């Protein structure tokens, strides 16, 4: 495994890899289809970034800009690249593209401890809960962080 990871905007050439990393990173009912990723790449209000190393796609993120709010839609990191702060890097790099926004919102499954710790480390705070958002008994924690982040300047 290499420590050299490059992050860039995703292109249509990344589509198969995006669908594959999503299948590996999420339970079936929560996976985005290849078409969903194609729609993300085509949407004018989205920023989709990919992180690559010598082994291929290491991670990806998609965010949407809605006026002064950024919605963090998806973060996925390949199993081999976890615990290397790649999720944190992806969030920072994606938000940098919309750094003039006022806040970032996201939803995360209540039992996703790794993601909850990542977002707390980045300064997100829980502002709401959506019962059964991901299915029966699988609640979403809605989190928010105000911008700008000092690290983005």
Report pTM.
0.91
Mean pLDDT (whole number) for 26-31 = 90
Residue 14 lies in a domain: yes
- Residue-number span of the structural domain to which 34 is assigned: 6-152
Q: What is the pLDDT of residue 150?
A: 61
Domain count, the chain: 1
- Distance, CA of 93 to CA of 91 (rounded, Å): 6
Mean pLDDT of the chain: 92
Has residue 1 got a pLDDT over 70? no
* Residue 1 resides in a domain: no
pLDDT range class, residue 62, cuts 50, 70, 90: very high
Q: Is the pLDDT of residue 96 over 70?
A: yes
% of the chain surpassing 70 pLDDT: 95
Rg from Cα positions in the chain? 15
Q: Residue 35: which CATH number?
A: 3.40.630.30
Whether the CB-CB separation of 130 and 140 falls below 8 Å is answered with: yes
* 134-102-48-131 Cα dihedral, nearest 10 degrees: 0
19 domain-assigned: yes
Residue 110 domain-assigned? yes
Q: Is residue 111 part of a domain?
A: yes
Residue 153 pLDDT class (50, 70, 90 cuts): very low
């Amino acid at each position: 495994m290499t420590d050299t990871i490059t992050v860039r905007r995703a292109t249509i050439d990344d589509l198969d890899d995006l669908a594959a990393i999503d299948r590996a990173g999420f339970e079936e009912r929560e996976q985005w289809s290849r078409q969903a990723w194609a729609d993300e790449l085509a949407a004018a209000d989205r920023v989709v970034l990919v992180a690559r190393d010598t082994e291929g796609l290491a991670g990806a993120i998609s965010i949407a800009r809605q006026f002064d709010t950024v919605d963090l839609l998806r973060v996925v990191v390949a199993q081999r690249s976890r615990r290397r702060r790649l999720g944190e890097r992806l969030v920072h790099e994606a938000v940098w593209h919309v750094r003039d926004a006022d806040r970032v919102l996201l939803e995360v499954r209540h039992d996703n401890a790794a993601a909850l710790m990542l977002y707390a480390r980045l300064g997100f705070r829980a502002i709401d809960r959506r019962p059964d958002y991901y299915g029966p008994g699988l609640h979403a924690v809605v989190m928010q962080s105000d911008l700008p982040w000092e690290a983005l300047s």
